[in-house]
Amino acid sequence: MTQFRLKHLFVLALLAALVLGYFALEGSGLMVYFTDSRPIVAQIRALGMLGPALIVGLMVLAIVFNPLPSAPIALAAGAVYGHTLGTVYIVTGAEIGAIIAFFIARTVGYEIASKHFDKFALHRFGSQNGLMLIVFAARLLPFMSFDLVSYAAGVTPLKAWRFALATLLGLVPMSFLLAHMGSEVIDGGTVDFAATILLLGLLVAVPLIAGRYYHGRSGNSTRADESDD
């Protein structure tokens, strides 16, 4: 059997495993852990020292299997472990899941994209720094699918280590915010959603403005160099 056929069989097997895994979760009744924070909190406390492993594992599954929401898991992590440790566990699971999703897309989709689009078209996505900024900014957008960003990045020329770094940096603010919200709710407090929305807006605006300023300066420098010549 040729290497070409083996690779395509691997791709089909991988896709089938993802589909079957999703339906297995749905049929086993475990889906409740992705839709409601309360059973997650109860299970984490019941597991004791193994509680963090549950959070990390659920976060990985929620990222790899796109339809599964991750917010209830993050809220539960904050509810049980507070701001700091909750953030650490959320970031760990989300980072692992994002890297897995990235490499799934890189394995399955990058070669296909390369065949249908020439190198020039692929690199029109932007430079490595530009792609990193896009990934970082997307992590700060609450309405942007975390999972889809991970898969989409895998079919671009973005280097894996750059993707991992941009994801990590973008994960921390949102993860801390979710952990904070979870700890506030579990303590009987109320979350100031207006302040939360304002904070999210600032988190998104700052890197976008910085990126625009950087590209503006780069463009001005290029034009200045051309005029000197």
Which pLDDT score is estimated for 160? 94
The first and second tokens of residue 150, run together, are 């991970």
pLDDT per residue of the chain (229 residues) written in tens, 0 to 9 = 565 566 566 666 666 766 676 666 666 556 666 667 788 888 899 999 999 999 999 999 889 887 778 888 888 999 999 989 999 999 999 999 999 999 988 887 666 555 544 454 445 556 888 889 889 988 887 667 788 888 888 888 889 999 999 999 999 988 988 888 888 765 554 444 445 545 555 555 555 555 555 555 555 554 555 555 5
Domain count, the chain: 1
Q: How far apart are CA 124 and CA 13, in angstroms?
A: 32
Query: What is the domain range of residue 142?
Result: 3-228
CA dihedral (149, 153, 154, 159) positive or negative = negative
For 103, other C-beta atoms within 10 Å of its C-beta total 15
For 50, other C-beta atoms within 10 Å of its C-beta total 11
Q: How far apart are CA 86 and CA 142, in angstroms?
A: 18
State the Rg of the chain over Cα. 20
